[in-house]
């Protein structure tokens, strides 16, 4: 049950990101590409890539805080 809840939450988190934010996060934060290399590959300035990553982290944190306020089925406080 927790695995399903985690998968749903991950899909929800990914859905709030723009394509540019998701691509930057996947390449730099989850991959082996650095900010400078990703900036060159995508024809962006390094500062733009850093902004995308910072915005992604902020949006994900806000979404996680919002999701944690809702009890999952079977957890205390759920219907």
Domains and CATH numbers, the chain: 2-68 (1.10.10.10)
DSSP state of 76: T
pLDDT tens digits along 9-58: 677 777 888 999 999 988 998 888 999 999 999 999 999 999 999 999 88
Q: What is the pTM of this model?
A: 0.69
pLDDT at 47: 98
CA dihedral in degrees (23, 25, 29, 31; nearest 10)? -20
What is the DSSP annotation of 8-24? HHHHHHHHTS-HHHHHH
E-strand ranges in the chain read none
CA distance 1 to 57: 26
Nearest C-alpha neighbor of 14 from the set 56, 65, 62, 67: 56
């Amino acid at each position: 049950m927790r695995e399903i809840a985690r998968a749903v939450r991950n899909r929800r988190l990914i859905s709030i990101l723009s394509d540019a934010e998701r691509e930057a996060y996947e390449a730099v934060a989850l991959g082996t590409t650095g900010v400078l290399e990703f900036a060159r590959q995508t024809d962006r300035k390094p500062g733009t890539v850093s902004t995308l990553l910072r915005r992604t982290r902020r949006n994900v944190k806000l979404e996680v805080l919002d999701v944690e306020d809702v009890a999952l089925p079977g957890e205390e406080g759920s219907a």
